[in-house]
Structure formats: C-alpha cells, structure tokens
Structure 1
Amino acid sequence: MLSIRDLSLEIAGTPILHGVSLDVAPGKVFGLVGESGSGKSMTALSVMRLLPQGARLRGRVSLGGTELTALDERQMCAVRGARVAMIFQEPMTALNPLRTIGEQVAETLVVHGAAPRGEAMRIAREKLDRVGLAADRFDLGRYPFELSGGQRQRVCIAMAIALRPAILIADEPTTALDVTTQAQILALLESLVREEGMGLMLITHDLAVVAGMADEVAVMREGRIVERGPTETLFRTRRHPYTRALLAASSHVPKRAALRSAGAPPVLEVEGAVRDYPLGRGAVFGARGHFRAVDGVSLAVGRGESVGLVGESGCGKSTLARAILGLEPLQVGAIRLEGAPVDAARGVPGALRAKMQVVFQDPFGSFNPRHRVARLVAEPFHLVGRPPDWRDRVAEALQAVGLKPADMEKFPHEFSGGQRQRIAIARAIVIRPRLVILDEAVSALDVSIRAQILELLADLQGRFGLSYLFISHDLAVVRAITDRVLVMRAGRIVEEGPTEAVFAAPRHGYTRQLLAATPRIPEDWLAEETRHGA
C-alpha cells in the first residue's frame, strides 16, 4: 500500500536521510525504531510532504499506485487526512489552542467534504468516545488546555482516524499515555489495521510496544535503515550492533547508592492535600459543582530518596505536583519543604522555590520559543541571582544531559522532542535544588538516551543528595529509579510501599491492572545478557 524506495533528503545542504526503503502492507503494522534524531520522523514527514523550506527530496514514495512525490501542494492537501493521516509526537503543537476539541476532530470531515458540520460533530463525538474521552466528562466544547497531555494525544488520534485513511503514520502515539490507556489506544489502532485493512507505520522508541504490535520492524540510525525484518526474527537474531545496544538500553537499571538515612527529617511532606476545580454552571442561579482532582493525599520524600508516583492520565498526579511547587492552592491540607510551608495562596518566597525544580511532561510547552537555550537553562538563577560564571554552569548542565555547549545559541525548535526534554532536565539541575519533581521526564526519550538520563539522575542524586518525586506512566522506569512507589487513582493513593515489594506482590486490584497492561518483550526472544541489561 505504501512503498518507499531509495528516499534521500537534504535540508539546506545537510544530508538527513540516505537511501531509505521500506513497505507498509495493507492490514499490517510496520515498526520504525531508533534514537532521537535518527530520521524516523523525517521519513514520516517526507511521506506527508510536510518538509521545511530548503528541503530536497529524492527517491519514490508511492501510495496505492499514486506517486506522492509527483503531486503538487493542492493535490497533497486532498491526500492528507483522507488517504494518509499522521499522529504527531507532541499533541499541544498539533492542536489549535483557540478551537474546541469537537471542532478540530470535525474539521477533517468538513474540509474533505465527507459530512456537513452537524453530521461531522456527531461523528467527532463517536471518535472521541472511541479513544476514551467519554461524553460525560469531555464534551465537544472543551479546549486543549483543559486536558492533560495524554488526553490531548487522544484527541489527535481521533482526528487522524476520522476518515479511516488507508495509511496511518503514528509518530510516538502513546508517549504521553499511561499504560492502561496506552493498551487501549494500541488495541484500537490494531483493530483498525486488522478490520479496515489499514496500513500502520508505528514510530516509537518503546521496543516493547513494537514487539507486541508490529509485523515487521526496521531499525534506523543516522538516516539509514541498519536492520529490518519480521519482528520476532529481528529481536531474536539482532545482527547489527546498534540493535543489540538498543535492546540492552531498554532494560537498563542505573547503579544507585542507598542515601536515605533512618530518622532524618523528610525533605517534602504532604498532609491531607485536597484540590478541587469548579465545573460548569448547573441550573439557573444554582451552585456550581466541582471536580476533586486530589483527594486527601499524604506522602513524604526523604533526603536522597526517590519516590515514584504512578497512575492513569487525569488521576491527579500532575495537579499534586503543581500544588507541591506552589503553583496551585489547596482547599485543604498542608505542604512543607524542609519544614517551611508551601502555600500558593499566600505566595512562595524565591529562596524556598530555589530548593525545588521541575521537569514538565511537555518540554515545548514549558519553553519560550523566542529564547535561546542559554537563557532557557539559566532561568532558575533568577531565584538566587545570576552568578558571574552562569554560562559555564549552563554549558556543564547541557553536557551532563548529552548535549553540546554550542547548543546554547540555538532555539528550541531546532531540536527533536527528546533533545528538548534533555534541555528541560538541564534547566532543572543547573541550580542544584534539594527536590526535583520529574513529571514524565523521560517519556519522550529513546531508550539509549533514557538509560543515560537515568544514570545521570542517579549520579546527581549520589553527588548532591537530591530527592526525586518521579511521576511516570512507565512502570519499568519507576522500578529502575525509585526506592518507594505510590499508586494514585481518582485523586487518592490506593497503594504504597517499597518499589520491589509493590511490583512483586501488588495488593490492590488497580496496581495489578497497571502491571498487566505494561507491554513486555517476550523473555524467549532475548538472550540472557540482554535480559539483564548488560
């Protein structure tokens, strides 16, 4: 259905792709894996003909007999969304913040003349229901900023499947999703492939997802496909060293020292935290209802301790994180950082804010796109005063997360999604805080860079006695990096305990559900040394 032959791409004279060839068959899933910057997304954008100015494309891209590289822009507009659709990696940049989610899903149908506006809105409702955004909580009049990262990604998926295209390109479609929602979305995509005869190109850094879904896999590095073949065969044989390195990194466990001392006062204390949000107005002159995002949560994080917080999108994890950071007030409860109260309603002193930093889930949304990296990473210095050697310290932080000092002069849009997340981590550690809240800090990173970042976090914790509150939907990462784990559901902590104990013998049914939904590479596909992360 989709055939790519000898595809090469240059942008402003810089080679990006080198002779890429692959096929996506009807009713099949083709997995494309590799590190950030390897050319996976540029391959997809070449198919969609969504390339920047100065791009020079050579080779053939054929869709059902139609040569896409020979079409002009007007003809491609008729193809995009109808015959080939794409789910982008960062939902907030793919959605219009000024239009409702119902309008944006319906837009695909209206633009292609598939349905009048009224019918298109009805179909939009069906598609949103199918991707897990039920009408009782997510009406068509909601805006993207009212949704979590995972919920926004589901809107993008609904947009992409609105016209049931022949080819669906999914670029990290489940990066922002928790494991149970990820399982639902992947099952949905798989059912569309099998039932509708749709071809799916699945671009991801999650090798376990590829192992569970793809019929065929290609491994990409520096713009070239270095290995490809049927999924099970590729995982079992792993002929190329780079493929072996990716599989080893996917199960990497960083070396961590036991830092927490018994009896020492905690760095962070949360007691009975409650956070409500008002809902829409009810009857005329009636009182407004409310939604309880955080419902009586209590927790503590010791000095040098890593605590994991897991749960589905919308369960209250990020809301709790914002309250801890003093960005949102609590209705009930108390938060203390090294014994000092954190009260957003009364204001948080700069000296106290300097003791805690955060890495947000969406790095692009947390950056000013007009500022260079040097200024972005140096932002925390305003809390304590910018030191004379601030540029040296910014360069050191960038090197620590795998970037170059020369990157200080670039803008955020010049980096891939994974690279932008590394910049966000550099900004969080540059001031050496006491507590770092990592809200899906490695969700956008490929496995090899993720392994490096986890090692970096462990190293920084050992050197500076940092405490981490690690919010993630990736249970494998939580297991690798945390001492204790808390499981959150509908605003409440339903289970907590030492990480290994919770993973080995979960007591709550919801915890067992999360673990069951986590994708895994079959044990018999991996050699002994790869299974143990060597």
Structure 2
Amino acid sequence: MTLLAVRDLSLRIGPTPILSDVTFDIATGEVFGLVGESGSGKSMTALALMGLLPGTARTEGQAHFGDIDLLAQDDAAMTRLRGRDVGMIFQEPMTALNPMKTIGDQVAETLLIHRAASRADARRVAREKLERVGLPPDRFPLSLYPHELSGGQRQRVAIAMAIALRPRLLIADEPTTALDVTTQAQILDLLQGLVRDEGLALLLITHDLAVVAGMARHVAVMQHGRIVETGPVERIFRAPGKDYTRQLLAASDHRPARKPQMPTSNPQALLSVDNAVREYVLPRPSAFAAHPRLRAVDGVSLAIRPGESLGLVGESGCGKSTLTRAILGLDALQGGTIRLGGAPVIAGRSMSPTLRARVQAVFQDPYGSFNPRHRVDRLVAEPFHLIGLPPDAEDRIAAALEEVGLSAADRHKYIHEFSGGQRQRIAIARALIIRPDLIVLDEAVSALDVRVRAQVLDLLARLQESHGLAYLFISHDLSVVRAVTDRVLVMQSGRIVEAGETARVFASPEHPYTRRLIAAAPTIPDAWKEHAHAD
C-alpha cells in the first residue's frame, strides 16, 4: 500500500529553481533509495517533505502522506506531524544532537513535545528505544552526553530520537557517510530491522550505490533537481536507461590507471616506523583509584618506499589518527621511533621545518581545514612558512592550481565559492606547493560523491606518477583502498593485525578481523555490473 505519493514537486528558493517535477511513491514497509551527486536535490527533497525549508522557499505539486498533503500544511500542522508520523535522521549526528542535553533527555523530548507521555513514561520509552538501537542502559546510561559517545553511537541516539513515537515514515539523509565499514553495516542492519519489525517505510538518501543495492527495493536517480530514472533497484542497476545512471555506476567501481609500485623497485624506505607506542591517561573512575591508561598505538611498525601507496584501514578508535599525528610530527611517542628519509621525526619545535616540509597532509573535510576569511592564494601558500616564501610564489601558486585542474584565476576567490570536490583539489594543491616526498591522505575522498571521488582519485594517480610521490592512504572505504594502494595494513586496537600486498589481502585475508571488515563493506553484485556493462 502506498504510504507517500510525491507528484510534480517543484521548489524555488527566491528566484532560483531547486527541484522540478519530482515524482515517486513509497509503500508501507519499503526501503526506497534516492541517489545522485551532491547538489542534485536529494536533501532538499527531504527538507521539503519535512517542511524545513527557508522562508523564501516556494513549493508546487503534492506530497500525499496517507490523506495529508505535506506541502499544503502550515508550520503548526507540520510540527504535529514531525517526530510523530514522520521522523528524520541527519547525516552528522554531532550537529543534530544538542551538546548541552543528555541522550536520555533528547530521546524523551520527542514524546514530551507531542504530549504523548508523562516525564517518567518518556524516560522509560527513551530507555527502551536506546536499547532497541543497541545502546543498553547498563553500558549507556541516559545521563551520558553526545560527546561521550563515538560517531556510530551518536548516530544510534539520533535514530532512537527519530523512532521514539514509532513514525510511519523515516527519512535517513546520508546516515552512514562518516562511519567505518563495520559500524556502517550495524547501522544499516538496524534500519532494516526497524523497517521489518516496526512496519515503517524508509526513504534512504545516499550517494553510495552499493548501500542502495543491498538495502532498497526501488530507487530514484536525481540530477539537477529532477528524477531522471526510477524503478526496481536490480533493473536500474543491471540495465540503466540513462547515461547519467551509467556514469554513476561506472564511477562507483572506478579504479584509476596507475603503475603499481613493485616491492623491489625502491628497497630504501622513505618513511619507517619502528615499534611506535602512544598512550593516553584517562580520567580516574573514582577519587582514590589510579588513572587508567589507554594504549592507542601499541608497537606499530611500518615502512613506505618512495613512490609507493600504502593503505591503512581499521574501525574508528583503532589508532589510525593517533599514528598519523605522530608521523606528521604533531604528537610525541612514548616508545619507538619514526624516521623520514633517515632523519628522526620528533614532535615539537625541535623538528626542523625542512624535515616537516617533506610530508604534507590532505584531510577529510577541506572546508574545515581552511580559514574561510582568506583567499585561495594565501591558503595554498601556507606551507611556504616552512621553507620561506620564494620570489616566484605567485607563479607557483598558479601552477599548483592548474596542476589540480583549477584555474590560476581561482587564487583570488574565497573557499566558500567552490564545490566540495574543488575544495579538495585546493587542499591537494596546498599539499603539493612545496613538493613533499610523502602526502598523508586522511579520509580524503570519503565525503565526496562517486563521480567527484573518481576524478580526485585519477588526479592523485597522475600526480603520483609525475612527481614520484608516496601516499599514506587512510580510509574506511575499502573499495578506494583496493583501487589506489600497493600494500595495505589493517589496524585493530592499536596494533597492525595484517599486512601485505593489497590484491592478496583482499583476495585471501588471513586475520578474522580483516575478513570481518571486508565482509561488512557494501557491494553491488557482480552479476548486475556485468549485465550493465554488456548493455
């Protein structure tokens, strides 16, 4: 039975058209996928259905939720519907949750706002819902705050809030983008269980086609605010009828053309880490107890040769970021050594700027790693403080931007004037400007949609070949690591549990943890892809 029927939904914000004639149906108990690139209109469709548009927005068309046209309701009516009949899970739970309120109060708030329970009953329901999403009260009391939880645990709290009143429709907007593969699998299993057990419908918005392949019954493909193709997932993925859909499918399985670095090509290590140890002191459980210690990095050893790509994978909290900070000279070790080109890497002022210049980093969120008040030329030139500003700095800035596929004229713009993919290209230009030997790529493409991700991976492969760069590629996206690395290290609880050539590790993983990571990664069935390529 159809629960939501969207017909000819069009949206303008001021004079700008955002959506045009969007039409689709979602049945009770169905998972419906909405896919497309960033800016295609996926999230704006969800916000229009939820009545969360800015005051200058104007909608046309209909969105019948049962007998109710969601687009025709005023703010008061939508406030009664939101949370009770329609729930929404946002992409970033840390911004969706209130940092000043406990998780119990935030889940109970939905019931109290709708006057569906007394305060005591609302707390009881909050406890039940948090347990339903995998946060049992003995380990996760209602008194915890969002900052005391991991990313996956915060997303579970957001889901508990969304289902507190058992809504009939749940909208999930990129609910797993920032999560590692095992946590992502747990969240997706949880959402599927809610659809099955609670009988609700799920609108799953994502740019990850593999997630849709494993979750949804029907899918709609959006481009430039329009639905360009819709139908059963298997039919669309096996035999896409539109070029845009074919391009998305090809990009999701894209492997850049690169020359693998053979093990014997450069026997001398560029970067060597030997038995690295990093511990943190944790708060005391009581006034008279000793401070417990967390060993985040526990005897890690690795080596990267010039021109080689090394992948580092593992779940959140396994120690990847701590190890990365030590390699960049930002965090001191308590044991072991790190050497770059034979010279010791020592955190603090004692490490020479010339040595620091040999390694640069590209981070997950390019917007967050730039000062928005500065123009691009100043942002790209930041690494020059390590070696001094050369007389031809302007020419080198222009050349770096052109090398990553941008224009020299872009140096006069601000970072907010660029798309996510363009910002990441600027981040790569900044890393390249002083010609380092090693670039650390920390989740550098995880926030990008599939076509932009493919373009950035191609760019990185070209730059590696032309400059002889070595890459340390840190990612929770195993498909990316498989496509762009020569060797891979698997990290668990501060230790390297498996290492080897990438093809071998993915084809025949030896450690149970590695097998679990690979099994958790969503994939599009090979039979679907073969059929689509044949067509």
After superposition, the Cα gap between the structure-2 partners of 1:345 and 1:378, relative to the gap in structure 1 and judged at 3 Å, is: closer
1:13 aligns with 2:15: yes
Q: Is the 8 A contact 1:326 1:347 kept in 2?
A: no
Larger CA deviation: 419-428 vs 192-201: 419-428
Aligned counterpart, 1:297: 300
Pick one of 504, 509, 513 that aligns with 2:516.
513
Pick one of 296, 315, 339 that aligns with 2:318.
315
Aligned counterpart, 1:409: 413
Q: Is the 8 A contact 1:247 1:530 kept in 2?
A: no
Paired residues for 1:438-449 under 5 Å: 438-449=441-452
Q: Residue 447 of structure 1: CA displacement? A: 1.4
Paired residues for 1:255-274 under 5 Å: 255-259=257-261, 262-274=265-277
Larger CA deviation: 380-389 vs 467-476: 380-389
Q: Is the 8 A contact 2:10 2:59 kept in 1?
A: yes
Q: Is the 8 A contact 2:380 2:429 kept in 1?
A: yes
Letter in 1 for 2:511: H
Instruction: Select the structure of larger CA radius of gyration.
Output: 2
Q: Residue 479 of structure 1: CA displacement? A: 0.7
CA distance in 2, matches of 1:122, 1:206: 36
CA distance in 1, matches of 2:134, 2:423: 29
Pick one of 235, 242, 245 that aligns with 2:244.
242
Q: Residue 477 of structure 1: CA displacement? A: 1.0
Q: Is the 8 A contact 1:395 1:408 kept in 2?
A: no
Gaps of 5+ in 1: none
Pick one of 76, 92, 104 that aligns with 1:74.
76
Name the TM-score, length of structure 2 as normaliser: 0.89
Q: Residue 258 of structure 1: CA displacement? A: 3.6
Q: Residue 128 of structure 1: CA displacement? A: 4.5
CA distance in 2, matches of 1:426, 1:141: 45
Paired residues for 1:160-171 under 5 Å: 160-171=162-173
CA distance in 1, matches of 2:371, 2:350: 24
Larger CA deviation: 35-44 vs 108-117: 108-117
Instruction: Tell me the secondary structure at the aligned position of residue 302 of structure 2.
Output: strand
Q: Residue 336 of structure 1: CA displacement? A: 2.3
Instruction: Tell me the secondary structure at the aligned position of residue 436 of structure 1.
Output: strand
Larger CA deviation: 6-15 vs 479-488: 6-15
After superposition, the Cα gap between the structure-2 partners of 1:378 and 1:356, relative to the gap in structure 1 and judged at 3 Å, is: same
Q: What's the Cα RMSD here? A: 3.1
After superposition, the Cα gap between the structure-2 partners of 1:117 and 1:17, relative to the gap in structure 1 and judged at 3 Å, is: same
Letter in 2 for 1:197: G
Instruction: Tell me the secondary structure at the aligned position of residue 15 of structure 1.
Output: strand
Letter in 2 for 1:24: I
Q: Is the 8 A contact 1:421 1:445 kept in 2?
A: no
Aligned counterpart, 1:233: 235
Q: Residue 487 of structure 1: CA displacement? A: 0.9
Q: Is the 8 A contact 1:92 1:365 kept in 2?
A: no
CA distance in 1, matches of 2:419, 2:83: 24
Larger CA deviation: 422-431 vs 323-332: 422-431
Q: Deviations over 1:451-507 (max 9, x none)?
A: 111111111111112211111121111110000011111221111100011111111
Larger CA deviation: 401-410 vs 2-11: 401-410
Instruction: Tell me the secondary structure at the aligned position of residue 33 of structure 2.
Output: strand
Q: Deviations over 1:136-195 (max 9, x none)?
A: 776555554555544544443343333332222112111112222211111111111122
Q: Is the 8 A contact 1:259 1:462 kept in 2?
A: no
Letter in 1 for 2:95: T
1:197 aligns with 2:199: yes
Pick one of 320, 327, 333 that aligns with 1:324.
327
After superposition, the Cα gap between the structure-2 partners of 1:346 and 1:407, relative to the gap in structure 1 and judged at 3 Å, is: closer
Q: Is the 8 A contact 2:266 2:306 kept in 1?
A: no
Instruction: Tell me the secondary structure at the aligned position of residue 459 of structure 1.
Output: helix
CA distance in 2, matches of 1:456, 1:514: 27
Instruction: Tell me the secondary structure at the aligned position of residue 366 of structure 1.
Output: coil
After superposition, the Cα gap between the structure-2 partners of 1:303 and 1:134, relative to the gap in structure 1 and judged at 3 Å, is: farther
Letter in 2 for 1:244: R
Q: Deviations over 1:100-139 (max 9, x none)?
A: 5454444434433345556555554554555455667765
CA distance in 1, matches of 2:23, 2:386: 51
Q: Residue 319 of structure 1: CA displacement? A: 2.2
Q: Deviations over 1:328-362 (max 9, x none)?
A: 33232222222333333666444333332223334
CA distance in 2, matches of 1:35, 1:242: 10
After superposition, the Cα gap between the structure-2 partners of 1:374 and 1:188, relative to the gap in structure 1 and judged at 3 Å, is: farther
Name the TM-score, length of structure 1 as normaliser: 0.89
Aligned counterpart, 2:91: 89
Letter in 1 for 2:383: P
After superposition, the Cα gap between the structure-2 partners of 1:204 and 1:372, relative to the gap in structure 1 and judged at 3 Å, is: farther
Instruction: Tell me the secondary structure at the aligned position of residue 442 of structure 1.
Output: coil
After superposition, the Cα gap between the structure-2 partners of 1:177 and 1:408, relative to the gap in structure 1 and judged at 3 Å, is: farther
After superposition, the Cα gap between the structure-2 partners of 1:130 and 1:488, relative to the gap in structure 1 and judged at 3 Å, is: farther
1:481 aligns with 2:484: yes
Aligned counterpart, 1:435: 438
Letter in 1 for 2:12: E
Aligned counterpart, 1:174: 176
1:251 aligns with 2:257: no
CA distance in 1, matches of 2:478, 2:351: 32
Larger CA deviation: 479-488 vs 244-253: 244-253
1:497 aligns with 2:464: no
Q: Deviations over 1:407-458 (max 9, x none)?
A: 963454x666666555544544444432222222211122111111111111
Larger CA deviation: 352-361 vs 374-383: 374-383
Gaps of 5+ in 2: none
Aligned counterpart, 1:288: 291
1:3 aligns with 2:14: no
Aligned pairs, number: 531
After superposition, the Cα gap between the structure-2 partners of 1:346 and 1:107, relative to the gap in structure 1 and judged at 3 Å, is: farther
After superposition, the Cα gap between the structure-2 partners of 1:399 and 1:153, relative to the gap in structure 1 and judged at 3 Å, is: farther
After superposition, the Cα gap between the structure-2 partners of 1:15 and 1:395, relative to the gap in structure 1 and judged at 3 Å, is: farther
1:38 aligns with 2:40: yes
CA distance in 1, matches of 2:411, 2:124: 47
1:457 aligns with 2:454: no
Paired residues for 1:128-139 under 5 Å: 128-132=130-134
Q: Residue 525 of structure 1: CA displacement? A: 1.6
Pick one of 54, 57, 72 that aligns with 1:55.
57
Pick one of 338, 341, 346 that aligns with 1:335.
338
Instruction: Tell me the secondary structure at the aligned position of residue 438 of structure 1.
Output: strand
CA distance in 2, matches of 1:193, 1:168: 9
Q: Residue 231 of structure 1: CA displacement? A: 0.9
After superposition, the Cα gap between the structure-2 partners of 1:67 and 1:438, relative to the gap in structure 1 and judged at 3 Å, is: same
After superposition, the Cα gap between the structure-2 partners of 1:237 and 1:368, relative to the gap in structure 1 and judged at 3 Å, is: same
After superposition, the Cα gap between the structure-2 partners of 1:392 and 1:160, relative to the gap in structure 1 and judged at 3 Å, is: farther
Letter in 2 for 1:89: Q
Letter in 1 for 2:179: L
CA distance in 1, matches of 2:156, 2:350: 35
Instruction: Tell me the secondary structure at the aligned position of residue 321 of structure 2.
Output: helix
CA distance in 1, matches of 2:443, 2:28: 34
Instruction: Tell me the secondary structure at the aligned position of residue 454 of structure 2.
Output: helix
Letter in 1 for 2:277: V
